[in-house]
């Protein structure tokens, strides 16, 4: 049996993708729409206060294309908190005019492939910062789920730990070339959702997503062992843009 490397876990993550029922939304009176927008703003303000107190983080983005109209990404200390805030939002008057087109549940994760042996990682402030991150409010987001293959000769889970470590080191070197251009949050979802990992990227330039993912396609860890789900790309939705998007 191949050696199992333990992972480090931080905050739980929920990617909540929503489609807006524009016909239903347009059928409201101006007063009803205003009340729903005001209620939505209260939720956003509450999420902002949670982030300000370092008890979690939330980011809201529009999604380009047919897959969704927006995504609300929540990070919280417990799975129960994610459940509670999702339920509370579903009870809002704005949520009545949305449909959850997709969702993804995971937990922020760091691999032990690159950690220093003999060091207690949970005493390292930089590691704690990565496990409990405040999401950057960059102009653009890219999210996709992925697996490592388990097919005959290309079975990631039958490789030795040395082989996996070397490939992940090479994989990480590509990512370092984009330091300052892309920030990422890797979340593990084995046993939590249908894929094994969720990857969330943030950047001021959406072309950076294309260049980074394209270059990583040639890396052995991706070329031989990577399987990828649907990609979701969008733009930051702040208070001003939210008002403009929802006005009729």
Residue from 144, 157, 178, 232 carrying the catalytic annotation: 144
Q: Which one, of 47, 27, 25, 48, lies nearest residue 37 by Cα?
A: 25
Strand partners, 102: 17
Our measurement of the distance from residue 146's CA atom to the centroid of its chain's CA atoms, rounded to an integer in Å, reads 12
Rounded CA separation 24/99 (Å)? 11
For tokens 């990480």, the residue is 172
144 classed as catalytic? yes
Rounded CA separation 192/80 (Å)? 13
**CA dihedral defined by 194, 144, 156, 124, rounded to 10 degrees?**
-100
Burial of 55 (0-12, 13-18, 19+ CB in 10 A): middle
Rounded CA separation 192/3 (Å)? 22
Task: Spell out the residues 6+ positions from residue 127 whose beta carbon is closer than 8 angstroms to its own.
Answer: 8, 110, 115, 121
Instruction: Report phi then psi at 141, rounded to 5.
Output: -130, 150
Give CA angle at 144 (140, 148), nearest 5°.
145
Q: Which one, of 60, 56, 54, lies nearest residue 94 by Cα?
A: 60
Would you name the residues annotated as active-site residues? 144
């Amino acid at each position: 049996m191949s050696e199992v490397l333990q992972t480090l876990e931080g905050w739980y993550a929920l990617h909540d993708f929503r489609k807006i029922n524009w016909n239903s939304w347009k059928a409201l009176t101006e007063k009803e729409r205003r009340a729903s927008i005001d209620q939505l703003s209260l939720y956003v303000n509450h999420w902002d206060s949670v982030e300000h107190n370092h008890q979690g983080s939330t980011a809201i983005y529009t999604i380009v294309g047919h897959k969704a109209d927006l995504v609300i990404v929540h990070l919280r200390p417990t799975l129960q908190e994610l459940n509670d805030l999702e339920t509370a939002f579903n009870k809002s008057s704005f949520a009545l005019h949305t449909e959850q087109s997709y969702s993804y549940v995971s937990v922020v994760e760091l691999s032990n492939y690159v950690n220093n042996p003999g060091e207690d990682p949970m005493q390292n402030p930089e590691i704690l910062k990565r496990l409990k991150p405040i999401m950057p409010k960059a102009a653009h987001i890219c999210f996709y789920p992925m697996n490592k293959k388990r097919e005959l000769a290309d079975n990631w889970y039958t490789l030795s730990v040395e082989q996996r470590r070397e490939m992940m080191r090479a994989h990480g070197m590509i990512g370092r070339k984009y330091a300052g251009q892309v920030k990422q949050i890797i979340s593990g979802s084995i046993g939590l959702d249908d894929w094994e990992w969720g990857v969330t990227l943030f950047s001021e330039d959406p072309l950076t997503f294309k260049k980074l993912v394209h270059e990583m396609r040639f890396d052995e860890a991706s070329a031989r062992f990577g399987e990828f789900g649907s990609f979701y790309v969008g733009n930051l939705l702040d208070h001003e843009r939210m008002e403009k998007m929802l006005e009729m």
